């Protein structure tokens, strides 16, 4: 028996004499004793193992496997085992027994001490244990009463429960039998009804298309088929109930299969035959309804399928067949082997001699000689394919439309929603996806494997697009697809993207043609003028610009029938125009010679810039006219390039026009160096004031006009150019500047008036010759021409007549007022240029650069200043001021 530790702690449930828990704490001596007996306190202590350890002189408990003994452990073990190993290595049994006896006595002594110390509390606890017998007796009596009650309850419940369970089982069986009888009766009723309906269907089929009571027999037959389908669906539901299920004995909801009845089993074959007949008739009606696009027939057939509960599978099968037809048709159209056989079958009859000639294997690519025949057959295939695809597409949309309109009478759910339970998408979406995938696959494979198809469809891509447009227009009546210049449906764009490889090839060819046109325009120029050797031969002229513009317009016209293709071609055209303009910009000359007017001939730089201007203008004009006939999308693409062309050629001509204007202004400002106050020199008929001669500045101006007309604008202008700006504007500017200078001339003698009249006549003749060279007349200048004609008699009127509107109506107010101030020559009313300290040239330049209101304001400032200074100058100044105000009243706001 294991030893008890010498000083075990008291039971925590033992209370002290005062009723509180014992607060025993071991002393130091007790703790020392406890350290000697850890072996006996081990939870896995075994007496036999301990005895063997003592006899063998081993430590107990032994160390775990692989665990080394503690470092520095004394020989003979530790704790109680310490000193129990003798000299021979064996255990000392006598010492162990002595130590155990001592320990037992020590523990007995301690127990007696504890009992003596706590005897009062122990006595109290023993007394309390004696009182528990009464409580336990009462508990036993209560348990006995409970067991008796349970036994009585079992007698009252178990027997009725068993009786109730058997009654419920009987009731369940009766219900199953009643359900079986009821369903069997319903089955027999439906079987007889189905027999009558099938008779009606067969009878209607034998009567043909007769009409009875306003109702066609065909419609009556379709209605009978729908009713028969509904009957068949109900019969199938009855037969399927309980089939293949082993019902539980106590399951009240389980149904017994009616096929277990002999009468029902005998009627099943007739029902199955009827179902096969209805399904066959229904499928036939569906196909006939789709072929004839007969909506009522298709709707009644789908109603029959819905009643048979096969509508989703029927629609799925129909769409699978139609989509498979699309795939097979597209694949057959692009099949080069069958195309080769078809072309070979159309060859002429073979004579007897050629039958023995060696023939190579079948060719899948045409030769140069047979290319037209292959192309004709291939395009015929494409036309037939488009026709077939149109028929299939109309069938799909017809089916989808009828499915959307037909609804279940009970749930009001459309047949389309019912079919969508097995379909991945709407029928129309499935058709377009299949068509696009088929064309995309065949286009990639054919373009990769057949050079004939690649060449035929890339060069004839517009024809292919026209076939697709015919396809879209054919189906537009039956579908919601739109393909117009303003709008394109998503479905049409999806299909056209499938043939994008051919569009890419066509656009590449189109871009190459435009690039070749631009490149050839900057090769050897078509201009063979005398100055050809003095300028680079790569400068394009009007012919090159017009040729490039025609190439671009032709490409746009070839693609304008298709809104998507013309946009793609317009992008290539825009790049071609930008290339032409960029290369032209690199050839523009900006040196002094390009603006020089020394004469008598135009410089090579001016010739080069003139050719560039002419080529850019002839490139711009046809494109500008063509854009008016195209859609806004094409205009958005080409407009920046076309406007850039115009801005570039205007950037060439405008600085030259500005230089010409500056030169004309400089020559006309020399008018004020001529002394028009001298009298005529009768002794020298050819002097500076000789009557009838022109001034030197006018002679130089006439020469410059001839230089501009014959050398500069002649190479730049076209038939429409002068009417659009340059030549006519220069003529108007020249006349207007001359009149402004001439109105400032003072003083004027009679000979000076004649001299100025002669200069005016010379200018009028030079301007008429200048405009005639551009196909225009003097009257094309408008008000400037009237003012020039009215200025000559103005010189010979007196001051009072100058304010008469009847005599000076065609003279501009500004020129009339300046001439009036110059003729009066009053110091108190100086000319505007004198008042502001400007030269005549600076003043006229200011007038040409400002509006009419500002010009009139400048002249009014002269009279206003005179009034502010107290109206000096006497009666003559007052008279002149009155005349000026009278003239200014013509332009005063009313």
* Structure confidence at residue 407 as a pLDDT band (50, 70, 90): confident
Q: What pLDDT was estimated at residue 717?
A: 52
* Structure confidence at residue 6 as a pLDDT band (50, 70, 90): very low
Any domain includes 393? yes
Which whole number is the average pLDDT over 72-94?
56
Any domain includes 9? no
Q: What pLDDT was estimated at residue 306?
A: 84
The terminus-to-terminus CA distance of the chain in angstroms comes to 144
Write the pLDDT tens digit of every residue in 23-36.
445 666 565 555 56
Flag whether pLDDT at 234 surpasses 50: yes
Are 528 and 576 contained in the same domain? yes
Contacts with 611 (C-beta within 8 Å, 6 or more apart), sequence order: 525, 527, 535, 539, 540, 541, 542, 715
Write the pLDDT tens digit of every residue in 461-510.
888 888 888 888 888 888 878 887 777 788 888 888 888 888 888 999 99
Q: What pLDDT was estimated at residue 62?
A: 63
Any domain includes 374? yes
CB atoms within 10 A of CB 106: 15
**What's the domain range around 752?**
675-888
Domain count of the chain? 5
Are 195 and 228 contained in the same domain? yes
User: 677 or 644: whose pLDDT is higher?
Assistant: 644
Write the pLDDT tens digit of every residue in 555-583.
999 888 888 889 999 999 999 999 999 99
Write the pLDDT tens digit of every residue in 113-169.
888 888 888 888 877 777 777 778 888 888 998 988 888 888 788 878 888 888 888
Contacts with 39 (C-beta within 8 Å, 6 or more apart), sequence order: 45, 50, 60, 61, 79, 80, 81
High-pLDDT (> 90) share of the chain, %: 10
Any domain includes 352? no
pTM above 0.85, yes or no: no
- C-alpha span between 242 and 244 (Å, rounded): 6
Are 754 and 633 contained in the same domain? no
Q: Would you say 458 and 502 are in contact if contact means Cβ atoms under 8 Å apart?
A: yes
Are 461 and 398 contained in the same domain? yes
Beta bridge partner(s), residue 317: none
Write the pLDDT tens digit of every residue in 380-395.
989 999 999 889 999 9
Any domain includes 7? no
Flag whether pLDDT at 631 surpasses 90: no
Q: What pLDDT was estimated at residue 409?
A: 81
Q: Tell me which residue has tokens 């503690």.
A: 70
Any domain includes 222? yes
- C-alpha span between 838 and 873 (Å, rounded): 23
Flag whether pLDDT at 832 surpasses 80: yes
Mean pLDDT of the chain: 79
Q: What pLDDT was estimated at residue 10?
A: 44
Write the pLDDT tens digit of every residue in 182-223.
888 888 888 888 888 888 877 766 665 555 544 566 677 778
Write the pLDDT tens digit of every residue in 663-713.
888 998 898 888 888 876 554 444 544 545 788 989 988 888 888 887 777
Which whole number is the average pLDDT over 509-528?
81
Any domain includes 376? yes
Flag whether pLDDT at 14 surpasses 80: no
Are 446 and 571 contained in the same domain? no
User: Domain end: 130, 146, 178, which one?
Assistant: 130
Are 277 and 397 contained in the same domain? no
Write the pLDDT tens digit of every residue in 586-610.
888 888 887 888 877 888 888 888 8
Flag whether pLDDT at 349 surpasses 70: no
Q: What pLDDT was estimated at residue 724?
A: 47
User: 121 or 531: whose pLDDT is higher?
Assistant: 121
Any domain includes 13? no
Residue 597 structure tokens: 């007017």
Span of 59-68, 387-396, 605-614, 885-894 with lowest mean pLDDT: 59-68
Are 155 and 289 contained in the same domain? yes
* Structure confidence at residue 335 as a pLDDT band (50, 70, 90): confident
Which whole number is the average pLDDT over 738-749?
87
Q: What pLDDT was estimated at residue 579?
A: 93
User: Domain end: 115, 130, 145, which one?
Assistant: 130
- C-alpha span between 766 and 753 (Å, rounded): 20
User: Domain end: 258, 286, 307, which one?
Assistant: 307
Are 719 and 634 contained in the same domain? no
Are 285 and 399 contained in the same domain? no
Flag whether pLDDT at 411 surpasses 50: yes
Are 690 and 747 contained in the same domain? yes
Are 586 and 681 contained in the same domain? no
Flag whether pLDDT at 355 surpasses 50: no
Q: Would you say 83 and 76 are in contact if contact means Cβ atoms under 8 Å apart?
A: yes
Q: Would you say 803 and 883 are in contact if contact means Cβ atoms under 8 Å apart?
A: yes
Which whole number is the average pLDDT over 45-65?
74
Span of 49-63, 286-300, 599-613, 719-733 with lowest mean pLDDT: 719-733
Which whole number is the average pLDDT over 306-315?
86
Q: What pLDDT was estimated at residue 346?
A: 61
High-pLDDT (> 70) share of the chain, %: 82
Nearest to 617 by CA among 748, 479, 734, 726: 726
Are 255 and 383 contained in the same domain? no
Nearest to 579 by CA among 652, 527, 520: 520
Which whole number is the average pLDDT over 838-865?
87
């Amino acid at each position: 028996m294991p030893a008890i530790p010498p000083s075990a702690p008291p039971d925590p449930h033992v209370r002290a004499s005062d009723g509180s828990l014992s607060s025993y704490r071991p002393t130091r001596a007790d703790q020392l004793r406890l350290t000697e007996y850890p072996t006996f306190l081990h939870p896995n202590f075994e007496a036999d193992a301990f005895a063997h350890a003592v006899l063998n002189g081993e430590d107990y408990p032994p160390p775990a496997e692989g665990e080394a003994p503690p470092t520095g452990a004394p020989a003979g073990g530790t704790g109680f085992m310490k000193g129990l190993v003798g000299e021979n290595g064996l255990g000392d049994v006598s010492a162990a027994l002595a130590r155990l006896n001592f320990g037992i006595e020590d523990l007995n002594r301690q127990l007696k001490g504890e009992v003596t110390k706590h005897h009062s509390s122990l006595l109290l606890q023993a007394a309390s244990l004696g009182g528990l017998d009464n409580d336990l007796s009462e508990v036993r009596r209560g348990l006995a009463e409970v067991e008796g009650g349970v036994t009585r309850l079992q007698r009252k419940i178990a027997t009725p429960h068993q009786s109730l369970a058997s009654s419920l089982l009987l009731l369940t069986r009766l219900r199953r039998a009643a359900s079986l009888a009821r369903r069997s009766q319903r089955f027999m009723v439906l079987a007889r009804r189905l027999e009558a309906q099938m008779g009606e269907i067969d009878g209607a089929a034998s009567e043909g298309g007769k009409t009875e009571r306003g109702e066609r027999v065909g419609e009556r037959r379709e209605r009978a088929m729908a009713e028969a389908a509904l009957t068949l669906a109900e019969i199938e539901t009855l037969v399927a109930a309980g089939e293949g299920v082993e019902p539980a004995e106590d399951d009240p909801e389980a149904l017994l299969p009616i096929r277990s009845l002999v009468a029902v089993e005998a009627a099943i074959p007739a029902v199955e035959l009827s179902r096969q007949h209805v399904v066959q008739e229904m499928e036939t009606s569906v196909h006939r309804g789709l072929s004839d696009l007969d909506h009522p027939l298709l709707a009644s057939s789908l109603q029959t399928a819905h009643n048979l509960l096969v509508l989703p599978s029927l629609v799925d099968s129909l769409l699978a067949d139609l989509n498979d037809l699309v795939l097979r048709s597209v694949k057959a159209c692009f099949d080069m082997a069958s195309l080769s056989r078809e072309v070979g079958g159309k060859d002429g009859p073979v004579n007897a001699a050629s039958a023995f000639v060696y023939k190579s294997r079948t060719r899948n690519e045409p030769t140069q000689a047979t290319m037209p025949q292959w192309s004709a057959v291939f395009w015929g295939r494409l036309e037939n394919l488009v026709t077939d695809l149109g028929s299939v597409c109309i069938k799909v949309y017809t089916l989808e439309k009828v499915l959307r309109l037909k609804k279940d009478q009970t749930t009001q759910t459309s047949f389309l929603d019912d079919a969508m339970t097995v379909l991945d998408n709407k029928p129309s979406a499935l058709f377009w996806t299949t068509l696009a995938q088929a064309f995309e696959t065949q286009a990639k494979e054919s373009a990769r494997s057949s050079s004939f198809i690649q060449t035929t469809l890339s060069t004839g891509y517009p024809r292919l697009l026209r076939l697709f447009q015919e396809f879209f227009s054919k189906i537009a009546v039956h579908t919601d697809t739109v393909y117009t210049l303003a709008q394109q449906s998503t479905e049409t764009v999806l299909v056209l993207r499938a043939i994008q490889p051919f569009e890419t090839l066509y656009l590449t060819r189109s871009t190459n043609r435009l690039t070749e046109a631009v490149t050839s325009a900057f090769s050897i120029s078509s201009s063979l003028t005398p100055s050809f050797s003095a300028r680079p031969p790569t400068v394009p002229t009007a012919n090159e610009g017009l040729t490039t513009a025609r190439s671009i317009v032709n490409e746009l016209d070839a693609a304008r029938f298709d809104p998507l293709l013309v946009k793609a071609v317009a992008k290539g055209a825009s790049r071609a125009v930008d290339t032409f303009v960029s290369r032209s910009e690199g050839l523009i000359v900006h040196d002094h010679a390009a603006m020089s007017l020394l004469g008598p001939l135009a410089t090579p730089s001016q010739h080069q810039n003139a050719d560039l201007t002419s080529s850019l203008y002839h490139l711009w004009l046809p494109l500008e006219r063509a854009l008016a006939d195209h859609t806004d999308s094409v205009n958005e693409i080409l407009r920046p390039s076309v406007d850039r062309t115009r801005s570039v050629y205007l950037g060439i001509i405008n600085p030259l026009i500005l230089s010409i204007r500056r030169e004309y202004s400089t020559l006309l400002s020399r008018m004020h160096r001529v002394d028009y106050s001298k009298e005529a020199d009768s002794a020298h008929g050819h002097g500076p004031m000789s009557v009838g001669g022109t001034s030197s500045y006018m002679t130089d101006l006439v020469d410059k006009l001839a230089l501009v007309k014959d050398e500069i604008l002649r190479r730049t202008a076209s038939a429409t150019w002068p009417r659009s700006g340059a030549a006519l504007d220069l003529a108007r500017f020249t006349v207007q500047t001359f009149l402004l200078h001439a109105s400032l001339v003072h003083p004027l003698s009679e000979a000076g008036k004649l001299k100025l009249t002669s200069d005016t006549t010379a200018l009028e003749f030079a301007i008429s010759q200048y405009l005639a060279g551009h196909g225009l007349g003097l009257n094309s200048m408008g008000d400037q021409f009237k003012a020039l004609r009215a200025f000559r008699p103005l010189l010979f009127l007196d001051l009072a007549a100058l304010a008469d509107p009847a005599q000076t109506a065609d003279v501009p107010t500004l020129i009339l007022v300046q001439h009036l101030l110059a003729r009066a020559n009053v110091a108190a009313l100086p000319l505007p240029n004198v008042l502001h300290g400007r030269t005549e040239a600076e003043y006229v330049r200011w007038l040409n650069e400002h509006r009419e209101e500002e010009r009139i304001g400048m002249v009014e400032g002269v009279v206003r200043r005179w009034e502010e200074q107290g109206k000096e100058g006497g009666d003559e100044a007052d008279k002149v001021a009155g005349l000026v105000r009278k003239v200014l009243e013509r332009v005063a706001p009313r």
